[in-house]
Chains A and B, each alone.
Chain A
Amino acid sequence: MDHTLPKVTGTIDGHEFEVCHGTTLLEAAKTLGIKIPTLCHHPGLPPDGNCRLCLVETGDKLLASCAFPIRASGGVYLTHSPLVFEARAFVLKLLLSRAPNNKELLKLAEEYGAQADPRLSDDPDGCLRCARCVRACQAAGSQAIALIGRGRGRKVAGPFFEPPLDCVGCLACARSCPTGLIACGEEPRVIWGRQFDLVKCPQCGRTVGTPEELKRAGITSWLCPDCRRREYSQALKNLPEASFVRN
């Protein structure tokens, strides 16, 4: 938390909170121990407000709490009102038509009394279109995949629906997928229809990553993080006494 930022206050479900300016409503609720269900949210990725499950009521409006930075004091937010409950049940119905067998979704659907609508379930491919994979790829330093198309035809793919040339095989997309839907292999490293070589640590033989992945990260040593650390401390140990500065 950046303590130079001014504070904002408000209430969530009648409980007062005080957080730094710009904190999201979802994070503010967390400081009060109030749980808001989320699917597309990932603490390490920028919010996108895609799954709409974190809807919260303020005034008579609904907003996605994961993507709402609190910039003014005095807000009154309700996370479990009838309006919120109804909206989340509707969202769950839509999401279920995409991913009818998702365990987390089914658990939430039971809690909210939501059922998949057979009229909407023409293409239940299991993908929630939450774009966590797309954001993970971008955060890792590539933009190999994107949400392509619009409306019900929208889906995650590489350019031209071909194996993406910008992919480095880091598996960030597969690991961030909340439904575990992205087909991949650790060893041999296979993802998005491409196969990658693997770098083994020359000292301990552990898998470090793909050459493309290390290049993207600007890492020139092919040692694994543990062996690299050991090598670095050895080098420090071998430095002559005079090179240390004592205060």
Chain B
Amino acid sequence: MDSKESMESREAKDSIKSQVEGLLGSRPRQARHLLAVLQDIQAAFRYLPKEALLMVSEKLEVSAARVFAVAGFYKALSFSPKAERLLTVCQGTACHLRGSEKLIQTLESRLGFKIGQSSTDGRLGLETVNCLGACALAPVATVDGAVHGHLTPEKALDLI
């Protein structure tokens, strides 16, 4: 059982490594491409696996501490898998004034999980963003990048 599990995890690690190798191949191996590479990895895996970060550190010749610091700085990058579909509610000033808090409350109570979490099957995740710049459409939310404006709690539930 144990050896089978470790075999599986080793296979998973090897598959991550070969995928990251491919992603790294599409960009010049220079420290200044660190963020772009991390974005590629985030897009491919929906998170940044530890093995991937260690590989990036080695190949771009950037210290592991620096890679981890950059990876931890941006909200778009994460260390645990993000959901397949992401519902992002804007919390900017305009959206806040026009009731984004109510949207969040409604969504949280309907979905049964909180902002920053995902459904147990990993299909849907709930997040907030500080401002989308679409203040005229406030309150606003996006589903996988598609913008939905002038939301009410009822309309927000339709997005699920």
Contact = CB atoms under 8 A, between A and B. Distances in A.
Real binding pair: yes
Contacts of A147: 69
Contact of B63 (A143, A148, A160): A143
Contact of A166 (B50, B65, B72, B73): B65
A144 B63 contact: yes
A149 B89 CA distance: 22
A230 B96 CA distance: 73
Nearest to A134: B65
A143 B73 contact: no
Interface residues of B, number: 12
A72 interface: no
B68 interface: yes
Contacts of A99: none
The majority secondary structure among interface residues of chain A is: loop
Interface residues of A, number: 15
Contact of B73 (A149, A159, A160): A149
B65 A164 contact: yes
B69 A166 contact: no
Interface string A43-78: 000000000000000000000000000000000000
B24 interface: no
Interface string B39-70: 00000000000100100010000011111110
B68 A166 contact: no
A81 B91 CA distance: 39
Interface string A171-208: 00000000000000000000000000000000000000
B72 A149 contact: yes
A61 B21 CA distance: 49
B154 to A, nearest CB: 34
Nearest to A143: B63
B59 to A, nearest CB: 15
B66 A148 contact: no
A165 interface: yes
Contacts of B66: 143, 146
Interface in B24-44: none
Contacts of A148: 68-69, 72
A158 interface: yes
Nearest to B69: A146
A37 B53 CA distance: 40
Contact of B64 (A149, A150, A166): A166
B69 A160 contact: no
A164 B64 CA distance: 9
Given A160-B50, A166-B63, A146 B73 contact: no
Contacts of A159: 53, 57, 63-65, 67-68
Nearest to B79: A160
Q: What 8 pairs across the A-B complex have the smallest Cβ distances?
A: A143-B63, A159-B64, A159-B68, A146-B69, A146-B65, A159-B65, A148-B72, A148-B69
20 contacts: A142-B63, A143-B65, A143-B66, A144-B65, A146-B65, A146-B66, A146-B68, A147-B69, A148-B69, A148-B72, A149-B72, A149-B73, A150-B72, A150-B73, A159-B53, A159-B57, A159-B64, A160-B64, A160-B68, A164-B65
